[in-house]
Amino acid sequence: MIAKKISQPALLAALTLIGTLPSLASAQSGDTDLWEFTGKAFDINNDDVLLYEEHHQVEGQCINNIWQPMSHQVDYFKQGEDSAFASKTLSYTESPLRPSLDFRQPEFDERMVIANQEDRQLQITWDTNKGDTKTFTTPVDQNVVGDAGFDNFVRRNWPKIQDDQAIDFRFLAPTRGEHYAFVLEQTSDSRISGDVVLEIRPSGFVTRFLVDPIILGYSTEGALTDYVGLTNIRENEERNYTAHIQYQTETAVSCNLTP
d(CA 137, CA 152): 23
pLDDT at 207 > cutoff 80: no
- Express each pLDDT in 189-200 by its tens digit: 999 988 999 999
pLDDT at 228 > cutoff 90: yes
pLDDT at 52 > cutoff 60: yes
Range of lowest pLDDT (11-15, 88-92, 158-162):
11-15
The predicted model gives 25-42 an average pLDDT of 75
pLDDT at 20 > cutoff 80: no
Instruction: Give residue 4's pLDDT.
Output: 40
Strand partners, 144: 170
The predicted model gives 242-259 an average pLDDT of 91
Pairing mode of beta strands 46-63, 144-145: unpaired
Question: Quick one: pLDDT band at residue 31, thresholds 50, 70, 90?
Answer: confident
- Express each pLDDT in 108-165 by its tens digit: 999 999 999 999 999 999 999 999 999 999 999 999 999 999 999 999 999 999 999 9
Burial of residue 157, with CB atoms counted within 10 A of its CB: 0-12 exposed, 13-18 middle, 19 or more buried: middle
- pTM for this structure? 0.86
Question: Quick one: pLDDT band at residue 201, thresholds 50, 70, 90?
Answer: very high
d(CA 20, CA 228): 15
d(CA 259, CA 66): 7
Instruction: Give residue 221's pLDDT.
Output: 87
